[in-house]
Chain A
Amino acid sequence: MTSILTNLFDGVAYGMLLFVLACGLAVTLGLMNFVNLAHGAFAMAGGYVCMVLVNRMGWPFFAALPLAFISSAAIGIVLERTLYRHLYARSHLDQVLFTIGLTFMSVAAVDYIQGSSRVFINLPAALQGQFDVFGVGIGRYRLMIIVICGLLTIALQMVLAKTRFGSRLRAAVDDPRAASGLGINVPQVFAFTFAFGCGLAGLGGALSAEILGLDPYFPLKFMIYFLIVVTVGGSSSITGPFLASLLLGIGDVAGKYYVPKMGPFVIYTMMILILIWRPNGLFGRTAAR
């Protein structure tokens, strides 16, 4: 019984992590209709920034996390202004080719600067280990992930649903022409959203170093997971990817625990079944725009 709860806890933590990593992609793909396969590169950038700050410059871990967010967002905004902007109107194939190229460049660049070995971020002692709650093992680090990611999700949902910026964004997505006719600066809204998505990826990258491992091949290795989250969740809101991440996280952990022989296939089997049942994802709109 207790191991069921421990697994559930691990699954939720893993799912939350997937969500923070992938939700930026859901935003660019679903809201801005741009296929950004380089999304993982921003996550990796955040992870490495955090690693350098903590390990080499002695920053406390919690101070480095916001910087992982900010630096990835900054890289995002620079690239958006200089490169991405020109590809919004191009075909999806062009976007794929461009972003996959960017991914390879990021892999080579990080390999060159930091070396190809896997890196770890030195964690404060308070985050290491596990404690028991009524016999259920709770990992401290994973608990922190759940708290941070949970708060972020609530904040994101509030911003999108309740604030002026949220309604501008939704308007810009639904009908960019009408929105700009109403005086909304659509490119600015998109640039900001893009940067924010990249920032979240960077934060996710920093958080995931401990659990998924961080090396220069991060963007290629985990691209498939990000894409699964977005396809299963559907890309019209952030609720979809959120639930999809949780489902996949819990499914993956439970699958590996109970049927270790089938472990690696569970996540793909779930994806196939869900997509047969709902081809546009759990919360997809019928026509992908």
Chain B
Amino acid sequence: MFEGKQLSHKAAWAAAVAAIVSLAAIVPAKAEDSVKVGLILPMTGGQASTGKQIENAIKLYMQQKGDTVAGKKIEIILKDDAAIPDKTKTAAQELIVNDKVHFIAGFGVTPAALAAAPLATQAKIPEVVMAAGTSIITERSPYIVRTSFTLAQSSTIIADWAVKNGIKKVATLTSDYAPGNDALNFFKQNFTAGGGEVVEEVKTPLANPDFAPFLQRMKDAKPDAIFVFVPAGQGGNFMKQYAERGLDKAGIKVIGPGDVTDDDLLNNMGDAVLGTVTAHLYSAAHPSQMNKDFVAAYKKAFGNRPGFMAVSGYDGIHLIYEALKKTNGDTDGTKLVEAMKGQKWESPRGPISIDPETRDIVQNIYIRKVEKVDGELYNVEFATFEAVKDLGKTKK
């Protein structure tokens, strides 16, 4: 955001002035005692909630852990790309060339992450992907590291779960863009391999006002369950119309990757979502003490529940901190990426690590069911698939 940039300029000036003053005084400060992280997020436009969650989580992390690592001050420069790849590219260029950032991070959608990939390679700086979820992303540059998830992770797991739990006929409804197609293909692959049958396949346009006709088609196909992937914001509308049309009463369940029951919106979706089973990396109801503290701190600071995007941002900035600790403050991009490979830590979502070969995240995928806890709707985890790698790549 422009405002953010101006502020950071001010901060840079203030830092410069402070540096000169301290030079004149006693301690000769080094010129390179700050590390700049260029954060590119959709802060406006349809994906803005993703950007806000990640920004909030990073703010929270820095409040908790302080803004100094290995003797260096971390400085975040936030730019808004509104999830438009052209803008991402321009923002990344400005950050790398003018602001001389040491990391680029964020990236709300797949096209944005891909647009910045060649720049990360050229400038030899790490690109920390905190949201976008298509498998190919980390293959586009040796400098890309991901702390979010891939759709293959959750889609294959829910397919396996469905097969084991007596779901035989599934109709699919997915948004017609890269992550939607990823989700669909990985689901189909595992589901049909396990003996399931996809009886109806509908791709909905990304800007889709009304699900009614698609849902009617699903209902008439009489499947055991609908596999759904729609971008986080549309999940609520989908679930409401699903209930309105009486698909729940017709015994048709909803399954899918957890985007459809994102914690960010879940509580406002109404009781229709009760019983929806999804596979995902994070639930605000994850029963660890660390997560309870994280949720409490996040709620206190920003007034709402953190979703999986927030936890991805929280882990992303953690990874940046840990990499700097490991290089002892060295900001050479290649060394930083090396330092990130194989990192393992306990996140609010559970134990996670960075696969040293693919630089992609390895994490537990939880099967959850929407239930009412203390009068609020939550995804309650009831089964865990441990240390799931990105299956989108291992198959190649």
List residues of chain A with CB under 8 Å of any chain B CB.
Answer: 3, 6-7, 10, 14, 108, 111, 115-120, 122, 128-130, 137, 139-142, 210-213, 215, 217, 221-222, 225, 252-257, 260-261, 263-264
1/0 per residue, CB under 8 A from A, across B180-202: the answer is: 00000000000000000000001
Q: Is B28 an interface residue (CB 8 A)?
A: no
B44 touches A7 (CB 8 A): no
Q: Please give, as numbers and ranges, the residues of chain B lying within 8 Å of A14 by CB-CB distance.
A: 210, 212
CA distance A213 to B208 in the complex (A): 10
Q: Please give, as numbers and ranges, the residues of chain B lying within 8 Å of A142 by CB-CB distance.
A: 244
For the complex formed, measure the closest distance between the CB of A271 and the CB atoms of chain B, giving whole angstroms: 16
Which residue of B204, B243, B268 contacts A120 across the interface (Cβ within 8 Å)?
B268
Q: Please give, as numbers and ranges, the residues of chain A lying within 8 Å of B212 by CB-CB distance.
A: 10, 14, 211, 253
Q: Please give, as numbers and ranges, the residues of chain A lying within 8 Å of B44 by CB-CB distance.
A: 108, 111, 116
For the complex formed, measure the closest distance between the CB of A208 and the CB atoms of chain B, giving whole angstroms: 9
Sample of 12 more A-B contacts, CB < 8 Å, known A120-B269, A260-B203? A7-B213, A10-B213, A117-B233, A120-B240, A130-B245, A142-B244, A210-B240, A211-B241, A212-B209, A213-B209, A257-B217, A260-B202
Q: Is B246 an interface residue (CB 8 A)?
A: yes
Which residue of B46, B213, B237, B246 contacts A257 across the interface (Cβ within 8 Å)?
B213
A256 touches B209 (CB 8 A): no
B interface, over-half SS: helix
The number of inter-chain residue pairs (CB within 8 angstroms) is 101
Q: Is B287 an interface residue (CB 8 A)?
A: no
For the complex formed, measure the closest distance between the CB of B33 and the CB atoms of chain A, giving whole angstroms: 36
For the complex formed, measure the closest distance between the CB of A206 and the CB atoms of chain B, giving whole angstroms: 15
Q: Is B69 an interface residue (CB 8 A)?
A: no
Q: Please give, as numbers and ranges, the residues of chain A lying within 8 Å of B3 by CB-CB distance.
A: none
A118 touches B208 (CB 8 A): no
For the complex formed, measure the closest distance between the CB of B284 and the CB atoms of chain A, giving whole angstroms: 15
List residues of chain B with CB under 8 Å of any chain A CB.
Answer: 44-46, 48-49, 52, 202-205, 207-210, 212-214, 216-217, 219-220, 233-234, 236-237, 240-241, 243-246, 264-265, 268-270
A129 touches B216 (CB 8 A): no
Q: Could you show 18 A-B contacts with beta carbons less than 8 Å apart?
A: A3-B216, A6-B216, A10-B212, A111-B44, A115-B52, A117-B233, A118-B233, A118-B236, A119-B268, A120-B268, A120-B270, A122-B270, A130-B244, A130-B246, A139-B244, A211-B210, A260-B202, A263-B214
CA distance A253 to B207 in the complex (A): 15
Closest 7 CB pairs of A and B: A256-B213, A116-B48, A264-B205, A257-B213, A130-B246, A213-B237, A253-B213
CA distance A165 to B204 in the complex (A): 45
Q: Please give, as numbers and ranges, the residues of chain A lying within 8 Å of B240 by CB-CB distance.
A: 120, 210
B244 touches A128 (CB 8 A): yes
CA distance A158 to B216 in the complex (A): 36
A3 touches B220 (CB 8 A): yes
Q: Please give, as numbers and ranges, the residues of chain B lying within 8 Å of A7 by CB-CB distance.
A: 213, 216
A111 touches B270 (CB 8 A): no
A139 touches B245 (CB 8 A): yes
Interface centre among B45, B213, B245 (most CB of A within 10 A): B213
Q: Please give, as numbers and ranges, the residues of chain B lying within 8 Å of A140 by CB-CB distance.
A: 244
Q: Please give, as numbers and ranges, the residues of chain A lying within 8 Å of B219 by CB-CB distance.
A: 137
Interface centre among A115, A116, A120, A255 (most CB of B within 10 A): A116
Q: Please give, as numbers and ranges, the residues of chain B lying within 8 Å of A122 by CB-CB distance.
A: 270
Q: Please give, as numbers and ranges, the residues of chain A lying within 8 Å of B213 by CB-CB distance.
A: 7, 10, 252-257, 260, 263
Q: Please give, as numbers and ranges, the residues of chain B lying within 8 Å of A118 by CB-CB distance.
A: 233-234, 236-237, 265
For the complex formed, measure the closest distance between the CB of B214 and the CB atoms of chain A, giving whole angstroms: 6
Q: Please give, as numbers and ranges, the residues of chain A lying within 8 Å of B210 by CB-CB distance.
A: 14, 211-212, 252-253
For the complex formed, measure the closest distance between the CB of B205 and the CB atoms of chain A, giving whole angstroms: 4
Q: Please give, as numbers and ranges, the residues of chain A lying within 8 Å of B203 by CB-CB distance.
A: 260-261
A128 touches B45 (CB 8 A): no
For the complex formed, measure the closest distance between the CB of B236 and the CB atoms of chain A, giving whole angstroms: 6
For the complex formed, measure the closest distance between the CB of A101 and the CB atoms of chain B, giving whole angstroms: 16
Q: Please give, as numbers and ranges, the residues of chain A lying within 8 Å of B246 by CB-CB distance.
A: 129-130, 137
B216 touches A10 (CB 8 A): yes
Q: Nearest CB to that of A127 among chain B residues?
A: B244
CA distance A111 to B209 in the complex (A): 20
CA distance A32 to B240 in the complex (A): 38
CA distance A81 to B48 in the complex (A): 34
For the complex formed, measure the closest distance between the CB of A39 and the CB atoms of chain B, giving whole angstroms: 16
Q: Please give, as numbers and ranges, the residues of chain B lying within 8 Å of A3 by CB-CB distance.
A: 216, 220
User: Known contacts A128-B244, A257-B216: does B209 contact A116 (CB below 8 Å)?
Assistant: no
CA distance A3 to B212 in the complex (A): 12
CA distance A228 to B212 in the complex (A): 20
CA distance A111 to B240 in the complex (A): 23
Q: Nearest CB to that of B173 among chain A residues?
A: A260
B214 touches A256 (CB 8 A): yes
Interface centre among A118, A137, A140 (most CB of B within 10 A): A118
A222 touches B217 (CB 8 A): no
B244 touches A111 (CB 8 A): no
CA distance A261 to B205 in the complex (A): 9
Q: Nearest CB to that of A212 among chain B residues?
A: B209
